[in-house]
């Protein structure tokens, strides 16, 4: 496994690979790897000749006052995990290499980035401008055949799909299911911040989404959202948002019809901002409450 630190090294690698009949899979990460990242690395390893993982805590997607300096980092451990997952190249640049003095460009996706995590009372659309700018740079430099993303960040995945289509990147986007702890908490690098008490309380997030899914089958969307919110409140958690949207457009869902509904939640537990979501399939729900729900079954979308 080789570690690349500069765009020039990435460009040289891409030139070399272009001369060979190989497919390249990219897994973009901010590091502090867990099983969620690993599931993406495994898929990339199985499906490509060459696997590139980017490891970069992108400063421009953090808001002033957010946890940029405290974001958990352990490069040595990440490199060891990546090596054992069969990664061929790690791109781990310093911020100055990505944003040299004079850097002035910004890639923005409108609309989709202004709701949920992009709403002003949450992280703001500037967060996603940071994400789409760095992803555009990575796709441009690495030019992967496939990029692997997690359903855990459902809005981010929708925004990146839009970006790829709009700007005609030739990379195929694959979205893999959320990997969870045994008690349902979605794996996240930020879980490392949680005290044992907060960690225990945070399990209410996934439980509230399951509650919503169950109530949807029995009572419809609005009562289901209320049931989910109530579940969180009973655990002493006030969500920033707890909303139902259509996953492709992020338009508010009305729950009428058979289109899948994304119920997404963001909540701060003991100072740590956590997000999660569930995809409810109305047609399945109507076949019986409590039927195995879609969000935990593998869902590959290209």
Q: Is-catalytic flag, 37?
A: yes
Q: Are 247 and 228 in contact (CB under 8 A)?
A: no
**C-alpha radius of gyration, the chain, whole number:** 19
Q: Which residues of 162-185 are buried (b: 16+ CB within 10 A; e: fewer)?
A: bbbeeeebebebbbbbbbbbeebb
> Whole-number minimum distance, CB 167 to ligand AMP, in Å?
19
Task: Look up residue 251 and give its two tokens.
Answer: 């338009």
By CB under 6 A, the residues from 62 to 101 that bind ligand AMP are: none
Asked if 55 interacts with ligand AMP (CB under 6 A), we say no
By CB under 6 A, the residues from 114 to 153 that bind ligand AMP are: 149-150, 152-153
> Whole-number minimum distance, CB 152 to ligand AMP, in Å?
4
Q: Are 76 and 142 in contact (CB under 8 A)?
A: no
Asked if 37 interacts with ligand AMP (CB under 6 A), we say yes
Strand 272-280 vs strand 261-269: parallel, antiparallel, or unpaired?
Answer: antiparallel
Instruction: Enter the DSSP assignment of 32.
Output: S
Asked if 293 interacts with ligand AMP (CB under 6 A), we say no
Among 98, 187, 237, 267, binds ligand AMP (CB under 6 A): 187
Asked if 189 interacts with ligand AMP (CB under 6 A), we say yes
> Whole-number minimum distance, CB 258 to ligand AMP, in Å?
26
- 């948002």: which residue's tokens? 241
Residues annotated catalytic, as ranges: 37
Catalog residues that contact ligand AMP under the rule CB under 6 A: 29-30, 36-37, 39-40, 149-150, 152-153, 176, 178-179, 186-189
């Amino acid at each position: 496994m080789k570690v690349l630190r500069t765009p020039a090294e990435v460009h040289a690698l891409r030139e070399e690979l272009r001369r060979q009949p190989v497919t390249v899979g990219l897994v973009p990460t901010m590091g502090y790897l867990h099983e969620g990242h690993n599931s993406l690395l495994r898929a990339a390893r199985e499906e490509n000749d060459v696997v590139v993982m980017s490891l970069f805590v992108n400063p421009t997607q953090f808001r002033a006052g957010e946890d940029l300096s405290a974001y958990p980092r352990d490069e040595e451990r990440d490199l060891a995990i990546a090596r054992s997952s069969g990664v061929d190249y790690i791109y781990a640049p310093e911020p100055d290499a990505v944003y040299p003095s004079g850097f002035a460009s910004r890639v923005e996706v409108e609309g989709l980035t202004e709701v949920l995590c992009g709403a002003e009372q949450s992280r703001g659309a500037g967060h996603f401008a940071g994400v789409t700018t760095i992803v555009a740079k990575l796709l441009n430099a690495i030019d992967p055949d496939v990029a692997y993303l997690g359903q855990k960040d459902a809005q981010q995945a929708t925004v990146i799909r839009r970006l790829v289509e709009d700007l005609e990147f030739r990379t195929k986007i694959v979205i893999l299911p959320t990997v969870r702890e045994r008690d349902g908490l979605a794996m996240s690098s930020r879980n490392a911040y949680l005290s044992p008490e907060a960690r225990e309380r945070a399990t209410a997030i996934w439980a509230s989404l399951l509650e919503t899914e169950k109530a949807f089958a029995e009572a419809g969307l609005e009562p289901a959202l209320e049931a989910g919110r109530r579940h969180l409140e009973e655990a002493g958690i006030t969500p920033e948002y707890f909303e139902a949207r259509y996953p492709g457009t992020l338009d508010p869902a009305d729950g009428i019809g058979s289109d899948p509904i994304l119920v997404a939640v963001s909540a701060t537990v003991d100072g740590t901002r956590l997000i999660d979501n569930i995809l409810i399939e109305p047609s399945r729900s109507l076949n019986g409450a409590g039927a195995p729900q879609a969000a935990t079954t593998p869902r590959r979308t290209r």
